[in-house]
């Protein structure tokens, strides 16, 4: 056990713990000597943050979601670049099916302005949705029959949803 301004101690045989009074992106709990802005720290209860150049680059939340470039990931893998674009890997078995969101919505609106490529297990189909504030299905392939459905827009009234069968 070492107890000064930072505690390093063994809680039980075979394990150890680091704690300290300073724990932020400039001084992570677990860092490197001479390079204080690099390491890991606890940004929230049961969460883990990874830091480089005194900036949090990645976080694992208490729900197990991983965020790269975002501190509040909304799915198992959520990536945001500095321009606000999102890539979200969704492995949910609920109302949203397994897929990938690729949007320009930024952190506040991660599901807006882009596309969602996914497998719809309820309807047994692969789908591509696009749009702005709400994404609509534009292309669909039926799992069992191979039928293809897509929106075909008329130049005058922008209507139509023809269905084609492959093979």
> pTM for this structure?
0.67
pLDDT score for 107: 67
Cα–Cα distance measured from residue 112 to residue 117, given in angstroms and rounded to the nearest whole number: 14
- Tens of pLDDT, residue by residue over 106-125, are 667 777 788 889 888 888 88
Whether 153 has a pLDDT exceeding 50, the answer reads no
pLDDT of residue 162: 58
Least confident stretch, 15-19, 73-77, 135-139: 15-19
């Amino acid at each position: 056990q070492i107890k000064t301004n930072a505690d390093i101690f063994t809680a039980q045989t075979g394990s150890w713990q680091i704690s300290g009074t300073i724990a932020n992106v400039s001084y992570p709990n677990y860092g490197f000597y001479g390079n204080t802005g690099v390491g890991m720290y606890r940004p929230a209860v049961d969460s883990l943050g990874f830091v480089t150049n005194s900036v949090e680059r990645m976080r694992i939340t208490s729900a197990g979601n991983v965020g790269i470039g975002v501190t509040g990931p909304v799915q198992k893998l959520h990536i945001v670049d500095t321009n606000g674009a999102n890539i979200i890997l969704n492995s949910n078995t609920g109302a949203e099916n397994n897929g990938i969101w690729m949007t320009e919505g930024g952190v506040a609106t991660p599901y807006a302005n882009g596309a969602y490529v996914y497998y719809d297990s309820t309807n047994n189909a692969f789908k591509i949705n696009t749009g702005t504030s709400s994404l609509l299905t534009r292309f669909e392939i039926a799992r069992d029959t191979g039928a293809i459905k897509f929106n075909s827009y008329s130049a005058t009234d922008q209507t139509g949803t023809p269905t084609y069968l492959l093979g």
